[in-house]
Chains A and B, each alone.
Chain A
């Protein structure tokens, strides 16, 4: 997955189209999805030796349809029936091969009957064209486990009576929210991975951007789809600068901004600036706008913090969430001083969702440090280090605590 060549990119682009064609002809999303997966594997083996066929999409469709026939034959045989699948009769002549069913597939894979992690796995396979093995490696679980998760997801979709079509207008916004969220989760899984062993995982961020780009192209008039793509581009632009030697975390304020990806920033900033002129603001657009303000600042000190604070206030009103309050507190501290930031955090200590959360302790530690309260900062850094389940974060927090203790002498 980390070394996706041009043939692999082509396969991944074609996967949802071939699957769409098949499901449209034959129904049975689950069987078609298996058949397409087998066709992709066959192509991955054959194409490098025999060359890419003149019409790769037709090749894949033919091979997948053949696999589907085999599948039905063996099932019929198993049931002791006549192997008489009149596949050809069901093929509508003159079918539009160029038709893009990606959007309907995304809605199907992010069906509300599925848990978020199943939505993510199925989306990566059916729409992203990744193999089960690649997805399993990306999520650090055995391949059989991931395979089971995917077939269970497909069985659930079938049981829910989901159809391969765009949801009715009334459900559209909610269902699109699930699609955006699944792509956001894929991105996060890749982006937050650090360290040498994670090249494969990092590629999930690229995969998420590719899918978000496709979604934005399909729904150019949706501000949140544009916002999500912009958010990914602007965040991913910082990737090279966010880890130091040995995979150590480098906080935003200490990052070498010359290592940020200027082209990704320009594209993301242009996207979000444009979207905000015609779309009502949504959570992804606001997060993208915040990322754009950071991206365009010459330094941490030279950041337009009042602007960031205003955007966080809007985001808290639109999509209240303790993690937003946490980030808002950092912005409050930058504008009005660390004491004001700490005051802003107080309700979170009483909130069950955040009271024992390492991020609350980490932010509090940081603000205590800025306020010059070393004892409180040390205590909070140590609490945060104890609570986190992330190894790089624990190392970072322990490092801050050690530096503070040494400076305090």
Chain B
């Protein structure tokens, strides 16, 4: 089963960490990515640039209107994804729980990826 792990964190939280904490955080991410690679579970992943350069498109009177920045005044923003292909949902949750952003106030979502296989009805 493929799962997309969605990473949410507070913009700027990295700068507030000490050098050691930052190094530790990157090391933890590297270790998880290495494990996913070695186990043949990693499908892909992307980190997103900061929210400052975000453009948001919404319909206004039925016409797409573009504004700068995220609309929502949220403390957490969507920061990136990791896609895994693993045996169970429990395993996907276990990977997400170890993502270091979680202990620094961020959050992870584990979402099943839709597939095109279908059982007989």
A252 touches B85 (CB 8 A): no
B60 CB–A CB distance under 8 Å? no
B40 touches A149 (CB 8 A): yes
A389 touches B40 (CB 8 A): no
A249 CB–B CB distance under 8 Å? yes
A396 touches B118 (CB 8 A): yes
Chain A window 230-242, contacts with chain B (Cβ cutoff 8 Å), 1 for yes, 0 for no: 0000010010001
Query: Chain A interface: which size bin?
Result: 35 or more
B117 touches A193 (CB 8 A): yes
Number of A-B contacts (CB under 8 A): 82
Q: How far is the CA of A195 from the CA of B117 in the complex (A)?
A: 9
Chain B residues lying within 8 Å of A339, measured Cβ to Cβ, are none
B115 touches A391 (CB 8 A): yes
B44 CB–A CB distance under 8 Å? yes
The smallest beta-carbon distance between B30 and chain A, in angstroms, is 16
B48 CB–A CB distance under 8 Å? no
Chain B residues lying within 8 Å of A389, measured Cβ to Cβ, are 1, 112-115
Stretch in A39-47, A91-99, A137-145 touching the partner: A137-145
The smallest beta-carbon distance between B88 and chain A, in angstroms, is 9
B42 CB–A CB distance under 8 Å? yes
Chain A residues lying within 8 Å of B87, measured Cβ to Cβ, are 115-117
The smallest beta-carbon distance between A228 and chain B, in angstroms, is 17
Chain B window 85-121, contacts with chain A (Cβ cutoff 8 Å), 1 for yes, 0 for no: 1010000000000000000000000001111111111
Q: How far is the CA of A249 from the CA of B117 in the complex (A)?
A: 10
Chain B window 25-63, contacts with chain A (Cβ cutoff 8 Å), 1 for yes, 0 for no: 000000000000111111110000000000000000000
Query: Chain B interface: which size bin?
Result: 20 to 34
- Residues of A245-293 contacting chain B, CB below 8 A: 247, 249, 251-252
A149 touches B39 (CB 8 A): yes
Q: How far is the CA of A139 from the CA of B69 in the complex (A)?
A: 38
A176 CB–B CB distance under 8 Å? no
Chain B residues lying within 8 Å of A188, measured Cβ to Cβ, are 117
Interface centre among A150, A189, A194, A390 (most CB of B within 10 A): A390
A145 touches B85 (CB 8 A): yes
B121 touches A152 (CB 8 A): no
The smallest beta-carbon distance between A184 and chain B, in angstroms, is 13
A28 CB–B CB distance under 8 Å? no
Q: Which of B41, B113, B114, B121 contacts A249 (CB 8 A)?
A: B121
Chain B residues lying within 8 Å of A145, measured Cβ to Cβ, are 37, 40-43, 85
What is the chain A residue whose CB lies nearest that of B88?
A: A115
B116 touches A198 (CB 8 A): yes
A100 CB–B CB distance under 8 Å? no
The smallest beta-carbon distance between A249 and chain B, in angstroms, is 5
A394 CB–B CB distance under 8 Å? yes
A344 CB–B CB distance under 8 Å? no
Interface centre among B38, B40, B43 (most CB of A within 10 A): B40
What is the chain A residue whose CB lies nearest that of B41?
A: A145
Chain B residues lying within 8 Å of A195, measured Cβ to Cβ, are 116
What is the chain B residue whose CB lies nearest that of A115?
A: B87
Residues of B within 8 A of A (CB): 1-2, 37-44, 85, 87, 112-121
Contacts A198-B116, A389-B1 known; list 11 others, CB within 8 Å: A142-B43, A145-B85, A148-B39, A193-B116, A389-B112, A389-B114, A390-B116, A391-B114, A391-B116, A392-B117, A396-B118
22 A-B pairs, CB-CB below 8 angstroms? A116-B87, A118-B40, A121-B40, A144-B37, A145-B37, A147-B40, A148-B37, A148-B39, A188-B117, A189-B117, A193-B116, A193-B117, A198-B116, A238-B120, A247-B116, A251-B120, A251-B121, A362-B121, A390-B115, A390-B117, A393-B121, A396-B118
